[in-house]
DNA sequence: GCTGCGTGTTCCCTATAGGAAACTTTTTCC
DNA sequence: GGAAAAAGTTTCCTATAGGGAACACGCAGC
């Protein structure tokens, strides 16, 4: 792949645009719409400018990492795909769970996700392990939703899976569940130690 | 006398600072050292400037998302957990909560499959647990093939995953792999006791 | 010592990210 | 329809990201 010269001068502003920037802007716009936020609201929540957000969504800028990080947080976007572009296909695997403390686990408020494959292009399912903080009593006024299906398997700890339309489901190691992830859902740990859950997510 | 001016920006005073910028630079430097690369080499591989990388590592700049993405790729860094899993949403409520254990069993000579959900209609993924007989030395002149993708996660025991196009992959508890199941594959246990493997299969 | 070389840092400059405000488009009223 | 409000875009400006080159430091061998 040809590295893109960052320093092209004299060309039109939009002449040479980011290769996968296309995706980034759309993803963010979709996520914002999904949450029913206006530019103003989302921008304020992420502590960035309204115009900046607009430009990002329209791929008219190359945003900084920090800005994207805030947006991801605000929009509760989770996307390792963004970091991966072209893929070598075939077998990709991951050695056993990385012990926490290796620096890569920065955690969101409640979950700590670890992707189980390095490259997601050309893969339809997304496997990852979540470490769910112990005693995390979250109120589910904002459910997690993403169109598609999800399979969940409890590796360790005790969790309760809350869902929008069904009764909470108490689960322990070895228990599994399959549901439509378009339905609001959220998972909390009820065990003393953190719970570890394997998810396989399928978009669409 | 001039009254104290209110914060006109609405963003708050410190809105611009990177809280964990400290960490970012260190993470990247560690990762680079880990791979034994010099600034020059790493920068070249990521198609960025040497000075840029230096500044990033010393937290003297607020790098763009694109730059970080490239670095993540070349340094094979896991996504910092602010971004995990692609978010897209939609709302549909559909049921199928199937606690594991209620599924059906299917036995073959070498494998013992246990479906992890009772009803497969309206589900695109198929999750099941295989118990692989110990010391099952199979010859793979007839690979297993089925169009689609497969995710495999070792629950217990030691197995070797043989594949048509790649080297055999030795795997233990916690290891996982993702592959195109159209490629011939087969799995044998190498441990004394039976191995238990979780599969999620996606047709297509 | 000096010279070369390899590694990392600093300086300097241009292109541009990001924010506020102006402007345009869309929606929501009447 | 028109007016007002809301949502989104573009303009303009300043601060700075990013790259090249100069610089600094370390460490060989002579």
Please report which confidence band the pLDDT of residue B178 belongs to, taking 50, 70 and 90 as the band edges: confident
pLDDT of A86 above 60: no
Contacts of A144 (CB under 8 A, 6+ apart): A76, A181, A184, A185, A186
Higher pLDDT, A198 or B108: A198
CATH of span B105-203: 2.60.120.10
Q: pLDDT value at position B89?
A: 21
- Helix ranges (DSSP H) in B10-76: 21-35, 39-45, 50-57, 65-74
Phi and psi based region of residue A36 (left: phi greater than 0; alpha: psi -120 to 50; beta: remaining): left
Dist CA A75 CA A73 (whole Å): 5
HSE (side-chain half, CA atoms, 13 Å) at B32: 24
| CATH 2.60.120.10 assigned to A111-203 | yes
Dist CA A175 CA A31 (whole Å): 31
Please report which confidence band the pLDDT of residue A49 belongs to, taking 50, 70 and 90 as the band edges: confident
Six-digit token pair at B141? 């002149």
pLDDT of A152 above 70: yes
Q: What average pLDDT does range B28-54 have in this prediction?
A: 83
Dist CA A126 CA B178 (whole Å): 9
CATH of span B21-74: 1.10.260.40
Mean pLDDT of chain B: 66
Q: Which of A30-39, B21-30, B111-120 has the lowest mean pLDDT?
A: B111-120
In words, the CATH class of domain A21-83 is mainly alpha
**Strand ranges (E), chain B:** 105-107, 111-115, 125-132, 148-156, 159-163, 169-171, 176-180, 185-189, 195-203
Interface probe, candidates B51, B81, B117, B175, chain A, greatest A C-beta count within 10 A = B81
pLDDT, tens digit, 9 for 90 and up, residues A94-134: 433 322 222 233 344 456 677 776 656 667 888 888 888 76
Identical fold between B21-74 and B105-203 = no
pLDDT, tens digit, 9 for 90 and up, residues B68-90: 888 877 776 655 333 322 222 21
Q: pLDDT value at position B116?
A: 75
Q: What average pLDDT does range B171-180 have in this prediction?
A: 80
A18:B66 CB<8 A: yes
Dist CA A156 CA B82 (whole Å): 23
C strand bases under 7 Å from protein CB = 6-11, 14-22
Q: Answer yes or no: is A14 CB < 7 A from strand C.
A: no
Domain boundaries, chain A: 21-83, 111-203
């Amino acid at each position: 792949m040809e590295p893109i010269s960052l320093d092209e001068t004299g060309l039109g502003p939009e002449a040479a645009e980011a290769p996968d920037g296309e995706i980034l802007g759309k993803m963010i716009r979709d996520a914002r719409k999904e949450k029913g936020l206006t530019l103003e609201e989302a921008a304020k929540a992420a502590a960035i400018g309204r115009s900046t957000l607009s430009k990002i969504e329209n791929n008219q800028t190359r945003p900084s990492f920090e800005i994207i990080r805030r947006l991801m947080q605000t929009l509760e976007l989770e996307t390792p795909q963004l970091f991966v572009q072209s893929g070598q296909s075939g077998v990709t695997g991951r050695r056993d769970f990385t012990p926490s403390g290796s620096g890569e686990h920065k955690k969101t408020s409640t979950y700590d996700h670890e992707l189980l494959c390095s490259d997601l292009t050309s893969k339809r399912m997304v496997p990852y392990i979540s470490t769910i903080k112990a005693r995390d009593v979250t109120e589910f006024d904002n459910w997690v939703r993403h169109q598609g299906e999800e399979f969940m398997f409890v590796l360790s700890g005790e969790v309760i899976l809350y869902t929008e339309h069904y009764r909470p489901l108490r689960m322990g190691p070895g228990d599994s569940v399959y549901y439509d992830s378009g339905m609001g859902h959220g998972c909390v740990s009820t065990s003393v130690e953190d719970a570890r859950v394997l998810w396989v997510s399928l978009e669409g």
